[in-house]
Amino acid sequence: MDGSRPFWEKDVTVAVANVHMHYRVPSTRAAPGGRAAGVGRAVRKVVGSQPKVLVRALAGVSLAAYRGESIGIIGTNGSGKSTLLRVIAGLERPSRGEVVAETSPVLLGVNAALVPDLSGEQNVRLGCLAMGLSPERTEEVLPDVVDLAGIGDAVYLPMRTYSSGMGARLRFAIAAAANPRILLIDEALSTGDAAFKERSERRMDELRANAGTVFIVNHAAQVIEEMCTRAIWLDRGRVVLDGPAEETARRYRLWAWKVSKGEQDAADTLLKETIAESSPSSVKFAATAQRGSPVRHARRH
């Protein structure tokens, strides 16, 4: 995305402005030193005291999402994909920067909490009610949710008997039932078969047609290319490329292929060239009152 994108610009649903996310986590990495230092490390391991290091999960991410977009987020493990979704959802506050959303986003993850001892059908009812649907509306959408999940008679069994794929499909179907204006999907669509993939694509098309915005995190560039209109490639918490899904997926796939072949120098060169060629997004917040009462996620204090 080129240029400056103010949140109040027409059709913007989510704006992320220069977001950084840092964590301090324990590290067992050995520090320089002799035998005495080694003894000290051994003692710290026993008593549980370890030095902490700074991990930078996101580094200056900016983007503006628009109504009707399906945005894929790709990158390797540790690139910041899931962290970005959690920040957009408001589950984590950024260390620096700000996120503004038109309405509260719905985050769907593989580990989204449902009740294992209840049946899938009971969990559908609970999930729909928790998202604000009335009891009457919940009963109306129940058959559609079950049909979208495509898990057959297993819907009447306790969820603890489900495979991870079955659980993920049911979670997606529940989340989509509420017609969220902003839906965030973290890897949940990687677990279905071809029939479920077709049904989920059709459901996301319906959400986008109703002026919604969908974010999808996935490791597979092909999934992003097929299901999204736009893609954002993250590497080490920074945006490498933000553009049409087909072109972004092609670049990412080429980079990943070079890495897999051990051509690290060529991969690094491609990464640097892609960053240099892309135009970074700049987001400014102003006159948000014109958009009603947006949801803000400001930095931690």
Taking residues 13-40, report their average pLDDT: 76
What does the chain look like in DSSP terms, one character per residue?
--SEEETTSTTEEEEEEEEEEEEEEE--PPPS--HHHHHHHHHHHHHT---EEEEEEEEEEEEEEETT-EEEEE--TTSSHHHHHHHHHTSS--SEEEEEESS--EEEETT----TTSBHHHHHHHHHHHTT--HHHHHHHHHHHHHHHT-GGGGGSBGGGS-HHHHHHHHHHHHHHT--SEEEEESGGGG--HHHHHHHHHHHHHHHHTT-EEEEE-S-HHHHHHH-SEEEEEETTEEEEEEEHHHHHHHHHHHHHHHHTT-HHHHHHHHHHHHHHS---EEE---GGGGSS-EEEE---
Residues in the chain: 301
Q: How confident is the model at residue 157 (pLDDT cuts 50, 70, 90)?
A: very high
Backbone angles phi, psi at 40, to 5 degrees: -60, -40
Does the pLDDT value for residue 8 go beyond 70?
no
CATH entry, 4-21+56-105+180-298, from 3.40.50.300, 3.40.120.10, 3.30.1330.10, 3.40.50.360: 3.40.50.300
Round to whole Å and give the CA distance between 109 and 141.
Answer: 21
Domains of the chain, by residue range, sit at 4-21+56-105+180-298, 124-179
> Between these two residues, 146 and 109, which has the higher pLDDT value?
146
Taking residues 99-122, report their average pLDDT: 82
Please enumerate in sequence order all residues whose Cβ is within 8 A of that of 122, keeping only pairs 6 or more positions apart, or say none.
115
- Determine what percent of the chain is predicted with pLDDT higher than 90: 46
Q: How confident is the model at residue 42 (pLDDT cuts 50, 70, 90)?
A: low
> Between these two residues, 164 and 137, which has the higher pLDDT value?
137
Does the pLDDT value for residue 4 go beyond 60?
no
Over residues 222-279, the pLDDT tens digits come to 889 988 999 999 999 999 999 999 999 999 999 999 999 999 999 999 999 999 998 7
Q: Which two tokens stand for residue 135?
A: 């009891």
Q: Which two tokens stand for residue 89?
A: 């959802």
pLDDT, position 209: 75
Over residues 48-94, the pLDDT tens digits come to 667 788 888 999 999 999 998 999 999 998 999 999 999 999 999 99
